[in-house]
Amino acid sequence: MESGHGGWRSTGLLFVVLAAFASNSLLNRSALVGGQIDWASFTIIRLLSGALILGLFLGVRHGKAVLPRRGDCVGAMSLFAYAGAFSAAYISLDAGVGALILFPAGQISIQLIGLTRSIIPTRGQLAGAAIALTGLVVLIAPGATAPPLWSGLLMAFAGIAWGFYTWAGKGVADFPLATARYFVGAGLLALLLVPFAVTSTITWQGVLLAVISGAFTSALGYVLWYHVLARISIATAAVSQLSVPAIAGLGGVLLLGEVLTMRMITGGMIIFAGIGLAIWASAGRKAA
């Protein structure tokens, strides 16, 4: 972490990014539960808005059109899969529950992808992942207060797709430009959802929420996230993401009238404990 004013600046930017990530859950859930837009239209507008703002800004900056390349296929496809599954899952999931499912699924996905690249986890990391997976099972297991299984599985799939998206951008020299290409590619893929859009349910409020989610809390939020990553440790970045489900859950209770259940508290605590152990093991490995 940077020291002095630079450290405070990075901390402030980190808070903005985490709030943006949590806001995506709140914006999406608010639009769907209020019947202001359908999930497919929200996804299309979200991705096209992100593509438009990043494509225009970076196109002007570089003096040429921002178009996806062959090497951007994984990034664009995984971003599209994440956004589509994310919105479809929020038809039935509360904001906080959705974030609690998304986060560990994404972290476990990243660990599994790392295995394919010969990044062998330690026992502590494996134990942490197993504990987090147990918390996820507790959260979505059948029961009176369980979230709909299909929606839970969709959100888990969104988390897996987010893991692939994260790896696609790892090590890219110019991440803002790569992010713009990913969004343009995902925006084009989003047009495949047009047959599923229910135009009769679209309101201006729903469109506005989707545009805010796409252009600001997603596109600019993702660019800012990788800007912050260059200035803080990986352990700090990983720990900080633990706050996203908590922020989304609190926002859901305060703004959307959602109920904080004992299942959510229990599952969330197990998930946080598992991911915390995995992060601690990662930090110890690097210090060794």
Please check the confidence at residue 97 and state whether its pLDDT lies above 80. Answer: yes
Whether the Cβ atoms of residue 261 and residue 227 lie closer than 8 Å to each other? no
Average pLDDT of every residue of the chain: 84
84: pLDDT confidence band, cut at 50, 70 and 90? very high
1: pLDDT confidence band, cut at 50, 70 and 90? very low
Note the pLDDT of residue 244: 80
Closest of 11, 41, 46 to residue 25, by C-alpha: 46
How many whole angstroms from its chain centre is CA 275? 16
Share of the chain above pLDDT 90, in %: 38
Please check the confidence at residue 119 and state whether its pLDDT lies above 80. Answer: no
235: pLDDT confidence band, cut at 50, 70 and 90? low
State how far the Cα of 88 lies from the Cα of 258, in Å rounded to an integer. Answer: 18
Amino acid (1-letter code) at residue 78: S
State how far the Cα of 265 lies from the Cα of 263, in Å rounded to an integer. Answer: 5
Note the pLDDT of residue 285: 57
The pTM score is 0.84
Q: Which positions ≥6 away from 13 have C-beta within 8 Å? A: 224, 227, 228
Q: Write out pLDDT tens, residues 151-167.
A: 999 999 999 999 899 88
Q: Which residue has the higher pLDDT, 215 or 228?
A: 215
Note the pLDDT of residue 215: 95
Please check the confidence at residue 225 and state whether its pLDDT lies above 70. Answer: yes
Note the pLDDT of residue 284: 58
Please check the confidence at residue 282 and state whether its pLDDT lies above 70. Answer: no
State how far the Cα of 107 lies from the Cα of 242, in Å rounded to an integer. Answer: 11
Q: Which residue has the higher pLDDT, 205 or 229?
A: 205
Q: Which of 74-88, 182-196, 236-250, 254-268 has the lowest mean pLDDT?
A: 236-250
Q: Quick one: 172 exposed, middle or buried, by C-beta within 10 A (0-12, 13-18, 19+)?
A: middle
Closest of 147, 23, 163 to residue 104, by C-alpha: 163
Q: Which residue has the higher pLDDT, 105 or 192?
A: 192
State how far the Cα of 257 lies from the Cα of 13, in Å rounded to an integer. Answer: 29
Note the pLDDT of residue 247: 82
